[in-house]
Chains A and B, each alone.
Chain A
Amino acid sequence: MNMKKFIFRIFLFLLPFFVFSIVLEYFLRSIPNDYSYKKNFLDKYTDYIEILFLGSSHTYYGINPYFIEGFAFNASHVSQTIDLDYKIISFYSNRFNNLSFIVLSVDYFTLFSRIADDIESWRVKNYNIYYSFNLSKNIKYNYEMLSFDLKTNLNRITSYYLNGKDNLTCSKLGYGNIEKTKFDLITTGKTAADRHTKINKEYFNESVNIIDNIIKYAKSEKIVVILYSSPAFFTYVENLEKEQLLLTINTLKAISENNANCYYFNFLQDNSFTEIDFRDADHLNKLGAIKFSKMFNSKILEIKNEINIKF
């Protein structure tokens, strides 16, 4: 009797919290964001997309599909790792009827990292909630309200529902279209390089297998895969660990040499990019993104001309 009373009273006491939580979660999920936008875009236009860009923040802030000829879409997200790129490709693999190019950024850290291990692991919830990938059963990666503190969540709600500010930071074609303050290129070069240097190489083989699988799929669908290393400022490059960098570059070169439908471009130390093109040591700013996107467009056009010979 005592126990029943206790449970009943606790239930009554907590009921407002449950209701509040459900309402909060509903409202948070209804705020437009990059993940929900890109998922909807892909759902709607899979049939039409010709060039699909994938990758991390380097692609998100570096490639503006507006400057690419053809129906291009940037499906990258900040801290998106290669396993997630592959998940996106696999999820839509049967519906890409017009896809000619898959463009993947494979940077210094790509072959050695996973989002779940990173400081950015909170972003896992975006793939669970908006892409329905079931990456983790952990409750904190399945609810919007558990990703941030109450204060932030209430701010998000008031910002959107009262002031009309959503969480969407990308352009219609998926480019990371936000103005950010310029950071010190020397400091960020060191900190980013340190952050990206992985001592643990356990993901290397798995990452190479993922690239192989993407290439295999692409081959079967007559799609060209372009792998590239993003441009970075010299302060970043000079702080990179040589072994990890060489392993990445040599692996990508070998993959591209062994697969007729695969190309590799290394822009890491491309002299065309100078201080004015960078927001921080490893991210392009708007100006840099325009330059890089145009450059990429030329590469794609060159490949398009070659394609008939190769296939």
Chain B
Amino acid sequence: MLFNSIDFAIFLPIIFAVYWILKNRELQNYAILISSYFFYGWWDWRFLSLIFFSTIIDYSVGLRLKNEGKKKNRKLLLWISITVNLGILGFFKYFNFFLDNFIEVFSIFGQKLQINSLNLILPIGISFYTFQTLSYSIDVYKKKIQPTNNFIAFAAFVSFFPQLVAGPIERAANLLPQFIQKRFFKYESAVDGLRQILWGFFKKVVIADSCAVFADNIFNNYRDLNGISLSLGAVFFAFQIYGDFSGYSDIAIGTARLFGFNLMRNFAFPYFSRDIAEFWRRWHISLSSWFRDYVYIPLGGSRCNIRLQIRNVLIIFIVSGLWHGAKWTFILWGLLNAFYFMPLLLKKMHRYNLGIVAEGKIFPSLRELFYMIITFSFVVLAWVFFRADNISTAFTYLWNIFSNSLFAFPNFSGKRRALMIIILVICFVIIEWIGREQQYAIARLGLKWKRPLRYAMYYLIIFSIFWFYRKDQQFIYFQF
């Protein structure tokens, strides 16, 4: 079920009503579990078995770890969880990729292998819930959290519908206790949740889907377009993916708040970053921090010699790229980001910009502005690899950007509408800039205004959402 569908508009109020009518915490968990399975099964009920299987495995591993004292046995249990979760993920997501590359490598040596790829459907959200359940087993193994013996609460934690298919990838330490505690309806929190949902929809429908039209058009016809058009195409895609994914996260976080849950923040205005390290602290935070905690730090992180530090950074970015999909373009995108990151690491400047840019000020300094533009430009160039169908397309695309035609007049179709979208994006960036010290851009916007004015703003946002709404627009991150 898509957030931006009529089905969800009907589903959400019903579940909301049922959930709060049931005052008992256990019954509420049942309601969440059933509704989450319904939500997922609406897309394809067959893959519910995968979620259920993953849930059973990690729940059982957690309980066994609680009573297991021997280090060797504890390790074995952890490896069972890792093997099962990554096995499922690997099979559905990477089997064909590795098989095809395996055949390719053999063909280099003149060996023709006759192995057919499997016709596999990638279950929606598998990369998200797999990582979520996996983190539970690892945390229990490391004794960071106590395992739960409440199966319904655990199953609801794994399948919680607001964040099931595209995150944020929650940690058991944050979300699981919320399923075990009693929840209370808080008016302010629910209203804030609705506001965040509204902003999420705005980002997805008005910004992302509008930019998608031009990004798709330009990327599909890149051979016929000049440098300036291609660079605009990459910028459109940058705002498409940001609006799409951070919009989804806002809707997820806002929806969870309606049910009394607080999910972790997933985006913190990443395009206002002053260097690439800051960007990665602000972009897809739940995934970046997952890799930091479960891959980077166990590998030694930055508390080892420089050679190992470089290795660790390369691993983390390549794995991060691979997480997005079984394609070389994603790996190269990860690698490129690693190269961006490396100079900061070597100069020990990767934790230089930790605060909010121009905090407490209206405008950034020229220096901050310069670094933000530079960082954004690097990010946009990397997005070309992320968006391109294959590596050769990505390189040709980039090559064509840096041609003489970079300073020509754009030659893609629909320039008038594109100009309107650019103006819209600029307005969006201004609103985001004003609200950058909040959890999301409009968190405090208009709160002190008189109600009619505030409502007028909300109505305007809603109207623009309906105005720009196009049917059946998927979220990009569903494919991951």
Q: Which residue numbers of A lie inside 8 Å of B, CB to CB?
A: 2-3, 5-6, 9-10, 13, 16-17, 139-140, 146, 149-151
Contact = CB atoms under 8 A, between A and B. Distances in A.
Contact of A16 (B20, B190, B459): B459
Contacts of B6: 139-140, 146
A146 B186 CA distance: 33
A150 B467 contact: yes
Contact of A149 (B191, B455, B463, B469): B469
Interface in B174-189: 185-187
Interface residues of B, number: 19
Contact of A3 (B185, B458, B459, B462): B185
A10 B471 CA distance: 25
B118 interface: no
A5 B185 CA distance: 11
Interface in B6-58: 6, 10, 20
Given A3-B185, A6-B185, A139 B10 contact: yes
Contacts of A151: 467
A10 B193 CA distance: 13
B459 to A, nearest CB: 7
A283 B56 CA distance: 58
Contacts of B79: none
Contacts of A139: 6, 10
B428 to A, nearest CB: 19
Contacts of B402: none
B294 interface: no
Contacts of B463: 150
Q: Which DSSP category, helix, strand, loop or mixed, fits chain A's interface? A: helix
B470 interface: yes
19 contacts: A2-B185, A2-B186, A3-B20, A3-B185, A3-B187, A6-B185, A6-B187, A6-B191, A9-B191, A13-B455, A16-B459, A17-B462, A140-B6, A146-B6, A149-B466, A149-B470, A150-B466, A150-B467, A151-B467
A2 B191 CA distance: 11
Given A2-B187, A17-B462, A151-B467, 9 more contacts: A2-B186, A3-B20, A3-B185, A6-B185, A139-B6, A146-B6, A149-B467, A150-B463, A150-B469
A144 B293 CA distance: 51
Closest 6 CB pairs of A and B: A150-B466, A2-B187, A3-B185, A150-B467, A149-B469, A6-B187
Interface in B439-466: 455, 458-459, 462-463, 466
A175 to B, nearest CB: 30
Contacts of A17: 462
B458 A149 contact: no
Contacts of A16: 459
Nearest to B10: A139
A151 B459 CA distance: 16
Given A149-B469, A149-B471, A5 B187 contact: yes
A2 B186 CA distance: 7
A9 B463 CA distance: 19
A17 B20 CA distance: 25
Contacts of A3: 20, 185, 187
A13 B467 contact: no
Contacts of A5: 187
B458 A13 contact: yes
B20 to A, nearest CB: 6
Contacts of A9: 191
A186 B387 CA distance: 33
Nearest to B459: A16
Nearest to A3: B185
Nearest to B17: A7
A140 B472 CA distance: 12
B115 to A, nearest CB: 26
A3 B191 CA distance: 11
Contacts of B20: 3
Nearest to A1: B187
A6 B458 CA distance: 16
A3 B17 CA distance: 10
